[in-house]
């Protein structure tokens, strides 16, 4: 805004001396703005890009650095002898992808029927520490950029077996969502 106003003044035909002074003022104001942004980023930490998705009405997020892709599910081949959270294997563009039921991972120990259909759902492929898996979710919203300082600790009231799956809680679009720990979700 400051830059725009200064730009208007300098083109209105004032003396070269004034123009030079305006130019140095503009540079100073740009530097001040940049320094202000840097200061604010230092205070709030670097920005984090998060992929936000849903299981029913409950929102979750994962750091975009660990979200490799989002896919529509195709045929998932079940695997006998695998733990209940394993939905099976899917051919993901010529690669073998293990698909996990995030709902079941988030509710360890609770009896739960496997999802009846994958139609209309999404698979979020998460990668961390050399491991990769697809997580079945109901809906994917968008990518949100937030300062690192907006990640709040996991609430004490959450069951420890569930709490270990989260890095924290963030507010996205007026709703609190759980920021998932890729490492905890990928490791049994």
Partner 1 sequence: MTTGSVDLLVVDDGAVLRGYDCRDVVRVEEVAGEPGGYLVRLGRLGSPREVACREVLRSVALSPREIRPVPEVLRERITGEKPWAVGLTGREIYLLY
**What is the rounded distance in angstroms from the CA atom of residue 40 to the CA atom of residue 47?**
11
Closer to partner 1 by Cβ: residue 70 or 89: 89
Tell me the closest approach of the beta carbon of residue 181 to partner 1, in angstroms. 15
Tokens of 108: 């360890």
Stretch that binds partner 1, among 25-33, 95-103, 115-123, 163-171 (CB under 8 A): 95-103
Closer to partner 1 by Cβ: residue 61 or 133: 133
How many chain residues interact with partner 1 (CB under 8 A)? 26
**What is the rounded distance in angstroms from the CA atom of residue 111 to the CA atom of residue 101?**
13
Instruction: Identify which of 132, 85, 125 has the alpha carbon closest to the alpha carbon of residue 106.
Output: 85
CB of 120 within 8 A of CB of 19?
A: no
DSSP 141: E
**What is the rounded distance in angstroms from the CA atom of residue 82 to the CA atom of residue 87?**
9
What is the DSSP code string of 143-158?
EEEEEGGGPBPPPTTS
**For partner 1, which residue of 102, 123, 125, 133 counts as binding (CB under 8 A)?**
133
Q: Is 89 in the site for partner 1 (CB under 8 A)?
A: yes
Q: Is 109 in the site for partner 1 (CB under 8 A)?
A: no
**For partner 1, which residue of 51, 52, 61, 100 counts as binding (CB under 8 A)?**
100
Residues 46-85 that bind partner 1 (CB under 8 A): 77-83, 85
List interacting residues with partner 1 (CB under 8 A).
Answer: 77-83, 85-86, 88-91, 94-98, 100, 130-133, 186-188
């Amino acid at each position: 805004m400051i830059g725009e106003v200064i730009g208007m003044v300098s083109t209105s035909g004032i003396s070269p001396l004034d123009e030079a002074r305006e130019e140095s003022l503009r540079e100073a104001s740009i530097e001040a703005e940049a320094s202000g942004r840097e200061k604010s980023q230092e205070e709030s930490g670097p920005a984090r890009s998060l992929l936000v998705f849903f299981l029913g009405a409950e929102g979750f997020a994962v750091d975009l650095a660990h979200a490799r892709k989002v896919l529509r599910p195709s045929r998932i081949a079940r695997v006998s002898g695998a733990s209940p959270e394993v939905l099976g294997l899917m051919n993901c563009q010529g690669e073998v992808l293990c698909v996990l039921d995030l709902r079941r991972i988030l509710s360890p120990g609770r009896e739960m029927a496997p999802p009846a259909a994958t139609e209309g759902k999404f698979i979020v492929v998460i990668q961390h520490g050399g491991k990769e898996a697809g997580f079945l979710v109901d809906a994917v919203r968008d990518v949100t950029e937030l300062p690192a300082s907006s990640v709040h600790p996991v609430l004490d009231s959450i069951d420890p077996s569930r709490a270990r799956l989260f890095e924290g809680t963030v507010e996205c679009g007026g709703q609190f969502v759980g920021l998932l720990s890729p490492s905890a979700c990928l490791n049994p």
